[in-house]
Amino acid sequence: MDDLRHIKHFVVIYQENWSFDALYAEIPGANGYGPGRNAYQVDKSGNPLASIPQPLDYNGNPDPRFPASLPDQTYDLAPYVPPSGTTGDLIHRFYHEQLQIDGGTMDKFVTWSDNGGLTLSEYDASSLPEGLLAQKYTIADNFFHSAFGGSFLNHQFLICACAPPWPGAPPSYISNPDPNNLNDNHVTPDGYAVNTSYSTYSPHPAGIPAADLVPPQTNPTIGDRLSDAGVSWKWYSGGWNNAIAGNPDPLFQFHHQPFAYYKNYADGTAARQAHLRDETEFFTDVQNGTLPDVVFIKPIGAGNEHPGYTSLLEGQQHVQLLVQTIRHSKYWHDTAIIITYDENGGRWDHVGPPKVDRWGPGSRVPAVVVSHFARKHYVDHTQYETLSIIRTLELRYGLKPLTSRDELAAPMLNAFDFRDHDDRDDPE
């Protein structure tokens, strides 16, 4: 573990909503399942599907760029929609993903989707900006998002390894997990927020009644642990300044701001002012030599790769900009950049996740490590999850685990090679 002390800065770039197979099935040496292969999807009764439906556009209408039906196979999305274009979105909720995973058989993604025709679509992103970085440095092909479902819960897991408790949530927000009468709502029957919900603190969408906002959270976070240990950190969010000023960008996502749910970072606190910052300040902090030890970057919607409201290419170009900002700074030689995705966005992957607890993990997502210390041209087959990032930070800085989940997660040690690092040339 002492080798981690060579790393003085960690930069975590948290992108949106792609499974591993949907982007990097074609990377040499990776455990990928490329286009044109049978996905063995079944209906709710377990009967094989003869075909999958026409994909829907962002408004929920049949997308005329696609045929009326498609075979039950993975397929290349690019002939229909290039990576510079946008598609419809897919449901990615807590109970839905568990039903899609179907105990690890991964055979009900089409059936339990609201846009089944997109679930098996893939890009060969190996030639896109992030894909090129993945092949020059380390890509993990056995990395799972830590919690079932969507962005809200996976952002919470990234910082607290937990599901936020919401005692007394509105009755209309309570889920019914029975597959025969599924209501995949905001809160579990026993009172944990799992699907998109908004904080009682700012920023949150205007007009939501106070009773419908998540109450102040008090579980410990990785930010608390870092601060207690004297380790500097910031969460840089695209569009943050406008959002807290009451003028959010249309693509600013309120539920992508996990620290804003916690009492320690409430409106007006010194901790909020110190640690929750606009993404523009990342660039000025690098330029001014004031980058903190630990950095989380959450791009605004236009740059986060989320299907539906932005393009894959635009998001990957933004990742490239962030990486190049570090690459051409004084921080490069002692920084580890970890790029990953909050969840799979409802897209299929052929690898079933490990079974840990009621919260997850969910499906496989890409994770790329870019660093002077990263193994070069390497595919890391170690089993990781989102909390592996937090576990790596805990080991580097001697932090107490937040819960049993992060304590048991494998740290991302195998992605690094600290031997003879002074003599290496690093690819651009």
What pLDDT is stored for residue 242 in this prediction?
98
- Quote the CA–CA distance of 323 and 11 in Å, as a whole number: 9
Mean pLDDT split into 10-residue runs, the chain, 428 residues = 91 99 98 96 98 97 97 98 98 99 99 98 98 98 99 99 98 98 99 99 97 98 99 99 98 99 99 99 99 99 97 98 98 98 99 98 99 98 99 99 98 93 68
What pLDDT is stored for residue 223 in this prediction?
99
- Quote the CA–CA distance of 396 and 394 in Å, as a whole number: 6
What pLDDT is stored for residue 141 in this prediction?
99
Which CATH code, of 3.40.50.150, 3.40.50.720, 3.40.720.10, 3.30.360.10, is assigned to 2-22+125-420? 3.40.720.10
What pLDDT is stored for residue 381 in this prediction?
99
- Coil, strand or helix: which one is 228? helix
User: What are the residue ranges of helices labelled H in 263-311?
Assistant: 270-275, 280-288
What pLDDT is stored for residue 426 in this prediction?
77
What pLDDT is stored for residue 2 in this prediction?
73
Give backbone dihedrals phi and psi of 62, rounded to 5 degrees, phi first.
Answer: -55, 130
What pLDDT is stored for residue 424 in this prediction?
64
- Coil, strand or helix: which one is 359? coil
What does the buried/exposed string (b/e) look like for 273-291 if buried means 16 or more CB atoms within 10 Å of the residue's CB? eebbbbbebbeebbeeeeb
Cα dihedral sign for 239, 244, 250, 253?
positive
Q: Which of 339, 342, 359, 361 has its CA nearest to residue 256?
A: 342
Tokens of 399: 């932090």
Q: What is the pLDDT of residues 385-410, one digit of tens each?
A: 999 999 999 999 999 999 999 999 99
**What is the residue extent of each domain of the chain?**
2-22+125-420
What pLDDT is stored for residue 428 in this prediction?
73
What pLDDT is stored for residue 77 in this prediction?
98
Kindly report the pTM of this predicted structure.
0.97
- Quote the CA–CA distance of 338 and 32 in Å, as a whole number: 20
Look up residue 72 and give its DSSP letter.
Answer: S
